[in-house]
Chains A and B, each alone.
Chain A
Amino acid sequence: MLKGNNITVRYGEHTVVDDLSFTIEEGQWLMLVGPNGAGKSTLIEAISQGVPYSGAFQLDGKDLRRYKPNQMARKIGVLSQNNSVGYGYTVDEVVGLGRYAYTTGFLSSADAEGGEQVQRALEATGLTELRHASVLTLSGGELQRTFLAQVFAQNPQLLILDEPANHLDLVYQQHIFSLIAQWLKTPGRAVLSVVHDLSLARRYGTHAVLMHQGRCAAQGEIAAVLTKENLHKVYHMDVYAWMQEMLQQWR
């Protein structure tokens, strides 16, 4: 589905992503893991064409640079890390904008499936009751669900998530990840997400790319990547022992 070939991103003299290659196929949930500053969010920015990069991303065999913004938005949906809205739009209006790519054209607004997709996205995220509420009145979790509903309404093949459970309490973390897992069950879809919590990555991911200082330290199936040795190389600590110590407190 999506192939990244020799991707390099530089901010001036500083190389943030360094010659990284990866592949994600249909049905996979690829977790981008690694310590802070490893280049995970920058890689996502590059995929969404938000920063200049060298190398190429191939989406269904075609260079991503050759996609028009609306064509790309029909294939790839991105949920950012920090979403905030300055004006009092309703949940409905924010989610409805997810259909923008299907209605482009000056003054055009026809989108036959739009209403149904928005309705389904609101139902999936449990926002039907709040659809006419102003986003300024929502909690952090509700706002994150609103933007997730917007991406669902966008109906992409590939869902890219940058720390989707950031700032959310445990209930919402579990809720959001379950929603995404449910979304992935439909054939023809894939998920790529940046996750800091290795337990969440292990629980929901099928594959992983472990990043360190902009480079790929390991990649493949999740269990093969998140090994004690690989994690020690990247985090410079015994992650397994730390996790077990944390769990011991609850026993």
Chain B
Amino acid sequence: MKKRTETFSLGIYLLFVAALTSSMLLCICLGSVSIALSDTVTALHNSLWGLEIPAGIAKSIILNVRLPRVLNVALVGAALSLCGAAMQGLLRNPLADGSTLGVSSGASLGAVLALALGITLPGTTHGGVMLMAMLFAFLALVAILGLAYGLDRSLSTNSIILIGVIFSMFASSLINLIISFAGERIKSITFWTMGSLSGTHFGHSLILGVAVLVLGGVILGYSRELNAFAIGEENARHIGVNVRRVKLIILVAVSALIGICVSISGTIGFVGLVVPHMTRMLTGPNHKRLLPASLFAGAIFLLLADLVARTLLRPVELSIGVVTSLVGAAAFVAIFWRTRKAG
């Protein structure tokens, strides 16, 4: 019966930032080639202040390969986890995550189509895949919400979950159909569907950074409403929440953020499901604490998963989605076991 404050203190936020920064530095230092921490810090510092980087420091690996990748991994992890926490509150279902809506399946379908048909954007390496993923994420959102609205004007949670699951299954079968006709492109498609952030650059960081700032900001701004939804949608209406409008805004923000992440990283499972779940055990369910904590925890979790993916079977690189699924599934079983045992 210990009193919990509504929001975190500045000290706790500083602790989060310190943990995230340490994880990022660790991930920059370790890899197929190990780099000394002092070299990494010098390279980052000098590059930030426009100073010359001393010879002998693997400047290219630090600044052009690992830094953008680490930034993108952290941003995708933060976004997926934040979306999962928001969906678990909004739908009042601890098994929900960003993919429950079916938007990530839509994005995957778009990306797989682009890979199979060889759709590209001039001057970019993955521009076609990204554009198609975002386009299909948006189309999936419109289709799912349109169907849910047509079925039930109040956009009930059950309708959204049901249509999201049906849409995901439909998109998966289409993806399998495309894969069976993909010929020699099957390897790149399979790798993409398992999720990877190798080869991503600062351009992606900019897109992800803006998306997390704007769309993540919207989600964080609705913490109180998410608390009301997590207690009960009917109760939320009774205390004065504009249920339909708030639900629509949060769903659009989550879908857009998931769509952008999937378009860049491919499908990375379990982050949005497991990380908020574990975070809730530490922070409690209040979204004023849960959302920011999930944001940082998701970033750190995915950074460590990416580190394992890069280093476990060196020089072979595992797909990050495989690592998160393995770790996530094990963690989920442990949580489930503990919860059931606790009664």
Once the chains are docked, how many angstroms separate the CA of A26 from the CA of B265?
A: 61
For the complex, is A101 an interface residue (Cβ under 8 Å from B)?
Answer: yes
* B232 neighbours in A (Cβ, 8 Å): 83-85
Task: Please tell me if the beta carbons of B231 and A80 are within 8 angstroms of each other in the complex.
Answer: no
CB-CB under 8 A for A86 and B239, given A106-B221, A133-B1: no
Task: Please tell me if the beta carbons of B280 and A87 are within 8 angstroms of each other in the complex.
Answer: yes
CB-CB under 8 A for A77 and B238, given A107-B221, A132-B2: yes
For the complex, is A240 an interface residue (Cβ under 8 Å from B)?
Answer: no
Task: Please tell me if the beta carbons of A50 and B286 are within 8 angstroms of each other in the complex.
Answer: no
Chain B residue nearest in CB terms to A108: B224
Task: Please tell me if the beta carbons of B224 and A69 are within 8 angstroms of each other in the complex.
Answer: no
Once the chains are docked, how many angstroms separate the CA of A80 from the CA of B280?
A: 27
* B227 neighbours in A (Cβ, 8 Å): 89, 93, 97
Chain B, residues 89-117, CB within 8 Å of chain A (1/0): the string is 10011100000000000000000000000
Nearest CB of chain A from residue B243's CB, rounded to whole Å = 7
For the complex, is A14 an interface residue (Cβ under 8 Å from B)?
Answer: no
For the complex, is A72 an interface residue (Cβ under 8 Å from B)?
Answer: yes
Task: Please tell me if the beta carbons of B231 and A89 are within 8 angstroms of each other in the complex.
Answer: yes
- State which size class the interface on A falls in: 35 or more
Task: Please tell me if the beta carbons of B242 and A68 are within 8 angstroms of each other in the complex.
Answer: yes
Q: With a 10 A CB-CB cut-off, give which of A69, A88, A109 has the most chain B CB atoms.
A: A69
Nearest CB of chain B from residue A107's CB, rounded to whole Å = 5
For the complex, is A74 an interface residue (Cβ under 8 Å from B)?
Answer: yes
For the complex, is B240 an interface residue (Cβ under 8 Å from A)?
Answer: yes
Give chain B's interface secondary structure class. loop
Of the residues B2, B230, B237, B243, contact of A87 by C-beta under 8 Å? B230
CB-CB under 8 A for A154 and B239, given A84-B232, A85-B232, A132-B1: yes
For the complex, is A48 an interface residue (Cβ under 8 Å from B)?
Answer: yes
Q: How many A-B residue pairs have CB under 8 A?
A: 83
Chain A residue nearest in CB terms to B228: A97
Nearest CB of chain B from residue A126's CB, rounded to whole Å = 16
* B231 neighbours in A (Cβ, 8 Å): 85, 87, 89, 94, 97
Once the chains are docked, how many angstroms separate the CA of A70 from the CA of B228?
A: 13
Chain A residue nearest in CB terms to B227: A97
For the complex, is A208 an interface residue (Cβ under 8 Å from B)?
Answer: no
Once the chains are docked, how many angstroms separate the CA of A215 from the CA of B192?
A: 62
Interface residues of A in 66-112 (CB under 8 A from B): 68-74, 77-78, 80, 83-90, 93-94, 97-98, 100-101, 103-104, 106-107, 109
* B2 neighbours in A (Cβ, 8 Å): 132
Task: Please tell me if the beta carbons of B240 and A72 are within 8 angstroms of each other in the complex.
Answer: yes
Once the chains are docked, how many angstroms separate the CA of A84 from the CA of B3?
A: 22
For the complex, is A53 an interface residue (Cβ under 8 Å from B)?
Answer: no
Task: Please tell me if the beta carbons of B240 and A100 are within 8 angstroms of each other in the complex.
Answer: yes
For the complex, is B4 an interface residue (Cβ under 8 Å from A)?
Answer: yes
* B221 neighbours in A (Cβ, 8 Å): 106-107
Interface residues of B in 205-236 (CB under 8 A from A): 221, 224, 227-228, 230-232, 234-235
Chain A residue nearest in CB terms to B249: A106
For the complex, is A144 an interface residue (Cβ under 8 Å from B)?
Answer: no
Once the chains are docked, how many angstroms separate the CA of A218 from the CA of B224?
A: 43
Task: Please tell me if the beta carbons of B285 and A89 are within 8 angstroms of each other in the complex.
Answer: yes
Task: Please tell me if the beta carbons of A80 and B234 are within 8 angstroms of each other in the complex.
Answer: yes
For the complex, is A117 an interface residue (Cβ under 8 Å from B)?
Answer: no
Chain B, residues 253-295, CB within 8 Å of chain A (1/0): the string is 0000000000000000000000000001000111000000000
Task: Please tell me if the beta carbons of B286 and A73 are within 8 angstroms of each other in the complex.
Answer: no
* A80 neighbours in B (Cβ, 8 Å): 234-235, 238
Task: Please tell me if the beta carbons of B239 and A101 are within 8 angstroms of each other in the complex.
Answer: yes
* B241 neighbours in A (Cβ, 8 Å): 69, 100
* B240 neighbours in A (Cβ, 8 Å): 69-74, 100-101, 104
Once the chains are docked, how many angstroms separate the CA of A61 from the CA of B319?
A: 64
* A88 neighbours in B (Cβ, 8 Å): 284-285
For the complex, is A227 an interface residue (Cβ under 8 Å from B)?
Answer: no
Task: Please tell me if the beta carbons of A78 and B238 are within 8 angstroms of each other in the complex.
Answer: yes
Chain B, residues 1-20, CB within 8 Å of chain A (1/0): the string is 11110100000000000000
For the complex, is A147 an interface residue (Cβ under 8 Å from B)?
Answer: yes
Nearest CB of chain B from residue A108's CB, rounded to whole Å = 9
Once the chains are docked, how many angstroms separate the CA of A94 from the CA of B232?
A: 11
Task: Please tell me if the beta carbons of B242 and A90 are within 8 angstroms of each other in the complex.
Answer: no
* B242 neighbours in A (Cβ, 8 Å): 68-70
For the complex, is A8 an interface residue (Cβ under 8 Å from B)?
Answer: no
16 A-B pairs whose Cβ atoms sit less than 8 Å apart in the complex: A50-B237, A69-B242, A70-B240, A70-B242, A84-B232, A85-B232, A86-B92, A86-B230, A87-B230, A89-B284, A97-B224, A97-B231, A100-B240, A104-B240, A106-B221, A133-B1
Binding site for A on B (CB under 8 A): 1-4, 6, 89, 92-94, 221, 224, 227-228, 230-232, 234-235, 237-243, 280, 284-286
Instruction: Please provide the 4 A-B residue pairs with the shortest distance between their CB atoms, ordered closest to farther.
Output: A73-B240, A101-B240, A87-B285, A70-B240
Q: Beyond A71-B240, A78-B238, A100-B240: 17 further Cβ-contacts under 8 Å?
A: A48-B237, A72-B240, A73-B239, A77-B238, A80-B234, A80-B235, A86-B93, A86-B230, A87-B94, A87-B285, A89-B227, A89-B284, A90-B4, A97-B227, A97-B231, A100-B241, A101-B239
